[in-house]
Amino acid sequence: MSALSFDLFCRVVDNFGDAGVCWRLARRLAALGQSARLWIDRPEILARLLPALDVRADEQVLDGVRIGAWHRAEHAAPPRGGVVVETFACALPPAYEAAMAGRDCLWINLEYLSAESWVEGCHGLPSPQANGVPKFFFFPGFTPATGGLLREPDLLARQDAARARDRGERLRALTGLPAAPPADALCMLLFCYPDAPLAGLCAALAGLDRPVWLLVPGARPPAAPPDRGGLRLLSIPFVPQARFDELLWCCDLNFVRGEDSLVRAIWAGAPLVWQLYRQAEDAHLDKLEAWLDRARWPAPAAGLIRAWNRPDDEAVARALPAALREPAWSDWRARSRAWRDELAGQADLGQDLLDFCMRRHQTR
């Protein structure tokens, strides 16, 4: 079947995740030989991830993706016979939406990532529309009954090739740090929300009997305590998204947050601590439990991740040394590799979405 045309819509709510996921998906679809156009309302946020982006241009093509300013979509025609991807229920421009019915479009509602089991029952369900345009829910997820996770086909091979090279050299080339970490240092990435229990984390790290390099992309968190013991807290530049994986591959333990950095840290196959985006009535804590059930980390690691999300300084200070102690640490590392390999055996979200849309087109 010939290529499909995808129009993806991205409204930035806050942070980088909305832009990060949409951009990654658009690139993936273009790499799969599809025509991909991304409409975004806050190009300056995407520019943090994609420094080549010209934020003043109404339209431009990067990595095979046509990127357009949201206001231009008000007057744009939906692709005839194409796919419109509304991400995270962002609501399409009304005139564009009205034009979809006459142009034989398929409408996809791409949802947020969750490990909860109800996702499997909702993935792929139709959502009947008054204007008759066929609309379907599409859920990323961790099982074959969901839309899967975004992954480029060469990702794990690139990872192996990178890890075969000296870590200190890679880190210096990527971050511009003047020195490499000592060979026995525990190297950690810290990408978290402002309410993370940093005091507990830093107290525990300073008390370890080995040097610790805690790498913080962007500005140093205001709550960060000064260096002490073997702990060094280092500000590094916020790297372009295309190189973010390389940063994860340099670290022994990755603290990540939100959605996209979580998925990338899973692919890194190294221990990770996930901080969820906070939701009303602590709904994120239910999501965390569902994810912990699937991840099956050793108990000390799961305890640390729970403490990080409560957020509880004292509990983190107790849980971190326990998670790093043998044999829990080796078990955590082994399970990280095993889960990565297990998940990499499933179809990736880009291919899965494409197959889903192709099937829908063939049955019309």
Annotated catalytic residues are 18, 259
β-strand 83-87 against 5-10: which pairing, if any? parallel
Q: How far is the CB of 102 from ligand TRH (least distance, A)?
A: 33
| Sign of the CA dihedral with 93 first, then 86, 279, and 236 last | negative
Question: Burial code of 195-228, b = ≥16 C-beta within 10 A, e = fewer?
Answer: ebbbebbbbbbbeeeebbbbbbbeeebeebeeee
Binding mask 329-358 for ligand TRH (x = CB under 6 A): ------------------------------
At 192, which amino acid appears? C
Q: Is 28 a residue that touches ligand TRH (CB under 6 A)?
A: no
Which residue in the set 1, 2, 14, 184 belongs to the binding site for ligand TRH (CB under 6 A)? 14
Residue 33 or 237: which CB sits closer to ligand TRH? 237
| 328, containing H or E segment | helix 328-344
Q: Is 20 a residue that touches ligand TRH (CB under 6 A)?
A: yes
R_g of the chain, CA atoms, integer Å: 21
Residue 217 or 221: which CB sits closer to ligand TRH? 217
Residue 144 or 237: which CB sits closer to ligand TRH? 237
Which residue in the set 145, 239, 285, 344 belongs to the binding site for ligand TRH (CB under 6 A)? 239
Please choose, from the candidates 114, 120, 113, the residue with its C-alpha nearest in 3D space to the C-alpha of residue 146.
120
Q: Is 309 a residue that touches ligand TRH (CB under 6 A)?
A: no
Please choose, from the candidates 274, 94, 250, the residue with its C-alpha nearest in 3D space to the C-alpha of residue 172.
250
Residue 357: DSSP 8-state: H
Are residues 165 and 137 in contact, defined by beta-carbon separation less than 8 angstroms? Answer: no
Which residue in the set 70, 137, 238, 339 belongs to the binding site for ligand TRH (CB under 6 A)? 238
Which residue in the set 39, 96, 107, 244 belongs to the binding site for ligand TRH (CB under 6 A)? 244
Q: Is 283 a residue that touches ligand TRH (CB under 6 A)?
A: no
Task: Centre a 10 Å sphere on the Cβ of residue 244 and count the other Cβ atoms it contains.
Answer: 22
Rounded distance between C-alpha atoms, residue 221 and residue 242, angstroms: 24
What would the DSSP string read from start to end of 142-188?
SSTTS------TTHHHHHHHHHTS-HHHHHHHHH--SSPPPTTPEEE
Q: How far is the CB of 104 from ligand TRH (least distance, A)?
A: 32
Q: Is 49 a residue that touches ligand TRH (CB under 6 A)?
A: yes
Taking CB under 6 A as the binding criterion, the range among 36-44, 165-173, 255-263, 296-304 that sits at the site for ligand TRH is 255-263
Taking CB under 6 A as the binding criterion, the range among 121-129, 151-159, 252-260, 319-327 that sits at the site for ligand TRH is 252-260
Q: Is 112 a residue that touches ligand TRH (CB under 6 A)?
A: yes
Binding mask 179-218 for ligand TRH (x = CB under 6 A): ------------x-------------------------x-
How many residues are listed for the chain in this entry? 364
Provide the CB-side half-sphere exposure for 240 (13 A, CA): 8
Q: Can you read off the two tokens belonging to residue 65?
A: 């993706």
Q: How far is the CB of 186 from ligand TRH (least distance, A)?
A: 19
Q: Can you read off the two tokens belonging to residue 275?
A: 């901080």
Q: How far is the CB of 304 from ligand TRH (least distance, A)?
A: 19
Contact residues toward ligand TRH (CB under 6 A) are: 13-18, 20, 49, 112, 191, 217, 238-239, 241, 244, 257-261, 277
